[in-house]
Amino acid sequence: MKTIGLIGGMSWESTVVYYQLLNRLARERLGGLHSAKLLLWSFDFAEIEGLQAAQDWAGATDAMIDAARRVEHAGAQCLLICTNTMHKMAPQVQDAIDIPLLHIADATAQAIKQTPVKSPLLLATRYTMEQEFYVGRLRDEHGVKVQTPEANSRTIVHDIIYSELCQGIVSEASKSRYMDIVNSAQAQSADGVIFGCTEVGLLIRPEDFSIPCFDTTEIHAEAAMAFALA
């Protein structure tokens, strides 16, 4: 089994899920007392969120490259960035290290293309929904054209992620708001849902909807374990 490197803490609420998923997958694949070989660098998310809010993407990139190099030097054989948003600097991170970075959007696109879904709704941070680094990669490299909620709904989705989910708050009221946004998009032709922030699956689950859902955290972990055991 190869050693998987993780850059987490963005937020730690979803990094916990990565840790659990990867270990469960190792046990399922190998049986017995097997668990995943992991190396984790975990940020203080307040520092990263401050860089995001200030639009200091250069500073955020420097921090991510530093973390990636630390994980590589510790012995990781591949790298996961345990957040969709910070894939904004994935190309720079990959250029700075010699181990492969397993891109969350690539894994998600492969999962989508195994289904009939043609126009999924993306639920994510404002950065991921509105900037090209994620939506553009899905479209240009994989032919997956996503929908995003209208402006007010994007604000709701983003605010719930940062003010609640990243702080361990899971609210039925917020779940209802997310479900309303998805149902509205479904009525307007969305035929799938991408949980495009690694915390979204803490609030809503695929069984809440009648259309296919793609939980990027689970998909990313599955891709990592496939790599580790190849």
Whether 83 is a known active-site residue: answer yes
Sequence-ordered list of residues with C-beta below 8 angstroms from that of 211, at least 6 positions apart, any chain: 117, 186, 190, 191, 192, 193
Strands across the sheet containing 192-195 = 120-123, 192-195, 213-215
Whether 166 is a known active-site residue: answer no
Could you say which of 197, 198, 213, 216 is catalytic? Answer: 197
Could you say which of 15, 78, 82, 83 is catalytic? Answer: 83
Residues belonging to the active site: 83, 197
